[in-house]
Amino acid sequence: MPATLRRSSSAKSPAATTSVNSSLEPKASHSPAHFYQNKTLDYYVEQKVTPITLRQLVFFGKRLNEERLIKSANYVRKELPVRLAHRIRDFQQLPFIVGTNPHIQLVYDLYWTAFDKFRKVPPIENTQDNAKYCDLIRSLLRDHLVVIPQLAMGISECSQHIPAAHANNFMNKMLRSRISRRVIVEQHIALSDSSVHSFGGGDEQIGTIFTNCNLKNIIDKCITLIGTKLGPSNKCPPIIIDGHRNCSDFTYISEHIEYIVYQLVLNSVRHTLRMAEANHLDAIPPVTVTISSNDTDILLRISDQGGGMTPETYRDVWSFTSEKRFEKFKEMPKMEARITEEEGEPWSWQGQEDQRLGIGLPMSKVYSEYWGGELKIMTMEGFGTEAYLRIPRLGNQTENIEFEEIEEGEYIPYWETQHRVKPDKKSLIVGQ
C-alpha cells in the first residue's frame, strides 16, 4: 500500500530564485546519486523552465548567424539542467518501492548523469565550443534511447504499488519532458549543422521545423509504409482520403505528426484485417481518413469498421500501467518514437500481434498535446472506432511540458482515489 508523500515544507520558494546570483551556485556533492534531496539539485529545481513556441524557433532560425547560433547554444545549455532537475525530483518523490525498481533506477541514473554533465558545461563563446557541445548532446541522445522502454517496463511492473492515476501522470510528465528536451537540442543541432555550410537556408524547413507541412503527403507516406510492412502476401484494406485534402500551410515538426498518423492508421488497418479474417469476409471494409481545417487548427478523423473496443480495452487505451502491455520491450531495448524505426523488414500478418509494443496510442497522445493539440478516440463495440486529432496550425502555442491532472508531488492512498471524480475538460474536437 503506497504511503502518502508530499513536498517538504522546508523547500525554498521558487521566488527566491530571482535573487540568487549564478556565481553562488552550490558545489556538487561527492556522494553518489540517490533518491534523496541535495542542494545541487534544489538550486535547479527552484528555477522555472523557459518554454518556447514553434513560431519563436522559426523566427530565430530564419535570421541565423554566428552570434544567434551561440545564443541558441547557451539557451540550451542553461535550459537542459533545469528541465532534467524537475524530472529527477519527480523520481525522488515516487514511493520508495517504485524508486527501487531496476528499470526506474536505470533511467534515474541516466538522468542524473546527464544533469551532472550538462550543468558543468561552461558558457559557449564560439563555434568551436558549440561543436564540442553538440558532440556531447549527440552522445547523450544515443545513451537515452533506452529511456522509453525502461520507463514503460518499470512503471508497469510497479502497478500494484502506485495508483494508476499517479503512474499515468508520472509517465505523461516524463514523456512530455523528454520531447521538450529533444525538441530544443535537435533544433539546435540542426541549426549548427546547417551553419557549417551556410547561415542561409530555405524558408520551408528551419532546423527540424517545417513551415509548410502538407497533411495529405504525411498521410500518403504513412499509408505507403504500412503497405510495405504488411508485405505482398497481406492485402491492405482500402484507405479512403477525403475532406480538405490540400491542407498544407501550417508550421510543425513533421516527425511528430508522422508518428501520430502512422499509429492511428496502423491501428485501424490492424483491427480491420483481424475483423475481416475472423468473419471470413471477402470484401475488407475501408479505413477512411478525413481531413478538415479552420483558421487555427488542422483536424483529422480516422474511421474504421474493425469491430471497436471492449469497455475494458477502451478504459485502458491511454494507460501505462498494464503489466502485459509492454512485455515486448524486453526484445526492443531502444526506442526513438519515430516512424523511421518502422522502416525495416515487413512483418507477416500472423506474427503482427506479437510485435506490438503497446505504447503507440499513449505516445501519440503525448505528442499531440505537447504543442497544444488533442487526440480523442470514440468507439462502438461490435462495429468500429474513430480517432479525432487536432493540430494547431499557427505555431504560436507554447510547448505543454507539465501534466497537471494531479497536483505535482502529491500521492494519495488508493482508497481515496476511488471516490474522486475528475472534472471534465472541454474538447475542441467533439464540443464536450
- Per residue of the chain (432 residues), what is the pLDDT tens digit? 333 333 333 333 333 333 333 334 433 333 344 545 578 899 999 999 999 999 999 999 988 899 999 999 999 999 999 999 999 999 999 999 999 999 999 999 999 999 999 999 999 999 999 999 999 999 999 999 999 999 988 998 888 899 988 999 999 999 999 999 999 999 999 999 987 665 555 678 899 999 989 999 999 999 999 988 887 667 889 999 999 877 778 899 999 999 999 999 999 999 999 999 999 998 999 999 999 999 899 999 999 999 999 998 898 889 887 666 676 677 777 888 888 877 765 544 444 444 566 788 999 999 999 999 999 999 999 999 999 999 999 899 999 887 554 333 333 333 334 443 443 444 444 333
Domains 14-207 and 209-392 are alike in CATH topology: no
Predicted local confidence at residue 307, as pLDDT: 95
Predicted local confidence at residue 342, as pLDDT: 77
In sequence order, the 6+-apart residues with CB closer than 8 A to the CB of 18 are none
Predicted local confidence at residue 403, as pLDDT: 55
H and E: helices and strands count for the chain: 14, 8
In sequence order, the 6+-apart residues with CB closer than 8 A to the CB of 297 are 373, 390, 391, 392, 393, 428
**How far is C-alpha 16 from the chain's CA centre?**
31
What single letter denotes the amino acid at residue 258?
Answer: E
Predicted local confidence at residue 90, as pLDDT: 94
- What backbone phi and psi angles, to 5 degrees, belong to 171? -65, -40
Q: Where are the beta strands (DSSP E) in 257-328?
A: 287-293, 297-303
What kind of fold does domain 14-207 have according to CATH? Butyryl-CoA Dehydrogenase, subunit A; domain 3 (1.20.140)
In terms of DSSP bridges, do strands 374-380 and 384-392 run parallel, antiparallel, or are they unpaired?
antiparallel
Query: Which ranges of 279-412 would DSSP assign to H, the alpha helix?
Result: 311-315, 349-352, 360-370
What CA–CA distance (Å, rounded) separates 61 from 55?
A: 10
Grid coordinates representing 101 are 525498481
Do 210 and 298 form a contact (C-beta atoms < 8 A)? no
Do 271 and 317 form a contact (C-beta atoms < 8 A)? no
Predicted local confidence at residue 193, as pLDDT: 92
Around Cβ 65, how many Cβ atoms within 10 Å?
11
Helices 66-92, 127-143: crossing angle, 10 deg rounding: 30
* pLDDT > 70 in the chain, percent: 77
User: What CATH architecture is 209-392?
Assistant: 2-Layer Sandwich (3.30)
Do 206 and 253 form a contact (C-beta atoms < 8 A)? no
Predicted local confidence at residue 233, as pLDDT: 66
| 3-class DSSP assignment, residue 164 | helix
Predicted local confidence at residue 140, as pLDDT: 95
What CA–CA distance (Å, rounded) separates 45 from 63?
A: 32
Do 429 and 293 form a contact (C-beta atoms < 8 A)? no
- Give domain limits for the chain: 14-207, 209-392
